């Protein structure tokens, strides 16, 4: 069926007529004035209000201030233990204590090393003394052979001399002097005889030589002592 007039109005009227069962449509009036005629105040468009409400920028900058205030309040409310307040001083004290422990450990190590070296030297000295003591009977036989004239010349006399010189390099010293004052630390008096023109006990004859190594007496010399008359 042909129709006249505006096609949009005709379609709108037809749609409302189909839905409501009537071809009559109420007019819609919108007030787009920016100033309210009753209050006289400016109106804000609905779009602008919605945009402000939905936009994150609409929140005031006081949010950061509130967060800082809350953080400050929390920090002020926390009680700091006394140990933490002196943590730096405690750290220095701990470092000083560790340094003292290190110095004490170093001193103990130095003392230990000195003690080991001293014990090693003593052990070496005792080993040498043991060898010298074991050779003293051999030296007594050499002396006896020399007194009997068996070592005046020949290869055995040279061997005996080399042996005595070698033992001297290890600190072996013979005690066989006569005419010296009697010393009970190095002399063993077997016989005492009155002497002439003497004021103190004097070694008049050595019956068996004594030996010492350094300050250590290996064997005292057996002697005859002349005493004042």
Looking at every residue in the chain, the average pLDDT score rounds to 76
Torsions phi, psi of 195, nearest 5? -120, 160
* pLDDT at residue 205, as a whole number: 94
DSSP string, 89-154: HHHHHHHHHHHHHHHHHHHHHHHHHHHHHHHHHHHHHHHHHHHHHHHHHHHHHHHHHHHTTTTSSS
Structural contact between residues 211 and 191, judged by C-beta atoms closer than 8 angstroms: no
pLDDT at residue 155 greater than cutoff 70: yes
For residue 28, is pLDDT > 90? Answer: no
Express each pLDDT in 135-145 by its tens digit. 999 999 999 99
139: which residues sit within 8 A by CB, 6+ positions away? Answer: 163, 164, 167, 209, 211
Q: What percent of the chain has pLDDT over 90?
A: 41
Please compute the mean of the pLDDT values over residues 150-167 and round it to a whole number: 89
Taking only the tens place, the pLDDT of each residue in 105-142 is 889 999 999 999 999 998 998 999 999 999 999 999 99
Evaluate if residue 152 carries a pLDDT over 90.
no
Q: Is 57's pLDDT higher than 60?
A: no
Q: Residue 141's pLDDT is what?
A: 93
179-218 residue pLDDT tens: 999 999 999 999 999 988 888 999 999 999 999 998 899 9
Instruction: Report the percentage of the chain scoring pLDDT > 70.
Output: 60
- pLDDT for 58 equals 43
| Confidence band of 66 (pLDDT split at 50, 70, 90) | low
């Amino acid at each position: 069926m042909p129709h006249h007039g505006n096609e949009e109005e005709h379609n709108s009227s037809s749609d409302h007529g189909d839905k409501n069962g009537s071809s009559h449509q109420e007019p819609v009036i919108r007030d787009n004035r920016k100033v309210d005629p009753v209050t006289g105040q400016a109106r804000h468009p609905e779009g602008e209000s919605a945009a402000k409400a939905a936009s994150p920028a609409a929140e005031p900058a006081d949010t950061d201030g509130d967060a800082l205030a809350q953080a400050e309040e929390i920090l002020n409310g926390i009680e700091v233990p006394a140990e933490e307040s002196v943590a730096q001083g405690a750290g220095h004290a701990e470092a000083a204590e560790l340094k003292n422990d290190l110095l004490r450990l170093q001193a103990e190590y130095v003392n230990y090393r000195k003690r080991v070296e001293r014990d090693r030297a003593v052990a070496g000295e005792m080993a040498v003394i043991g060898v010298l003591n074991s050779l003293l009977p051999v030296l007594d036989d050499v002396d006896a052979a020399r007194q009997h004239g068996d070592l005046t010349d020949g290869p055995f006399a040279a061997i005996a001399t080399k042996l005595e010189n070698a033992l001297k390099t290890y600190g072996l010293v013979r005690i066989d002097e006569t005419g010296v004052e009697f010393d009970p630390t190095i002399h063993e008096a077997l016989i005492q005889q009155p002497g002439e023109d003497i004021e103190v006990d004097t070694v008049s004859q050595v019956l068996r030589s004594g030996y010492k190594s350094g300050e250590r007496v290996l064997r005292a010399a057996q002697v005859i002592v002349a005493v004042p008359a």
